[in-house]
Amino acid sequence: MNYLAHGIRFLDRPYLMAGTAVPDWLSVVDRRVRMRAKRVEPLLEQWEAGSPEHETALGILQHLADDDWFHTTVGFHEVTGRLTELFRSQLPGDQYINGFLGHIVTELLIDAELSHRRPEMLEAYYDAMNSIDPRTIEAVVNVAAREPTDRLAGFIPLFVRERFLNDYTEPTRLLRRLNQVMNRVKLPPLPDSIVEVLVAGRALVSVQLADLLPPENFVWPAAAAQH
């Protein structure tokens, strides 16, 4: 799961929603800092329920729990497998890169499909994110993590201003964002032909969204219920 899929169920609880983004933010700005449930859970007792700190910690735990069930779904295995095959047709000979891309692109395309079906959710997501204090988020991380970070609080406003989730619904712009990921992990840029894979992958995700986000695990918020 990616930012929007993790967060849209909690639009009315901005700090919990922001907490769901913390592991992904750290993977961008400070990869040495990791969130572990066994370190976050005991901290819940030190903060008052409903406080920004408590909500942030709950959001971090929500992200970790989401990843546990998401990666076991039938939809995840089917869509990532098919996308890996499609990438292999364009990038022959490197199974690692194809498998990596199959995984990450599945998650990005889920966010694309969610924002396409209910575009108001994406606007609400950014509005809620704009209401939090990034310093509070960083402070919670620095209590929970083995290694502290001084990079997160400054990154969160950039994340809100950049609004890169808006680009996921358009294949050419998505490819540009995907190549930023490739650069960050020191892999070569993807060719323009990958747009064909992104278009085909989006169709797969659209058809199998309920298998990727099964209702027993993923309950749409009332304001964004599917029709």
pLDDT at 65: 98
pLDDT at 226: 42
Dist. CA 59–CA 203, nearest whole Å: 30
Pairwise pLDDT comparison (95 vs 166), residue with the higher score: 166
Q: For 104-131, what is each residue's pLDDT tens digit?
A: 999 999 999 999 999 999 999 999 999 9
pLDDT at 177: 96
Give the C-alpha distances (Å, rounded to integers) separating 42 from 15, 16, 34, 36, 57.
18, 17, 16, 11, 10
Task: Give the pTM.
Answer: 0.94
pLDDT at 223: 55
Domain ranges of the chain: 3-218
Query: Helix, strand or coil for residue 191?
Result: coil
Dist. CA 113–CA 226, nearest whole Å: 12
pLDDT at 3: 98
Q: How many CA atoms lie within 13 A of 109 on its CB side?
A: 29
Dist. CA 82–CA 152, nearest whole Å: 35
Burial class (CB in 10 A: 0-12, 13-18, 19+), 219: exposed
Dist. CA 49–CA 64, nearest whole Å: 20
pLDDT at 219 over 60: yes
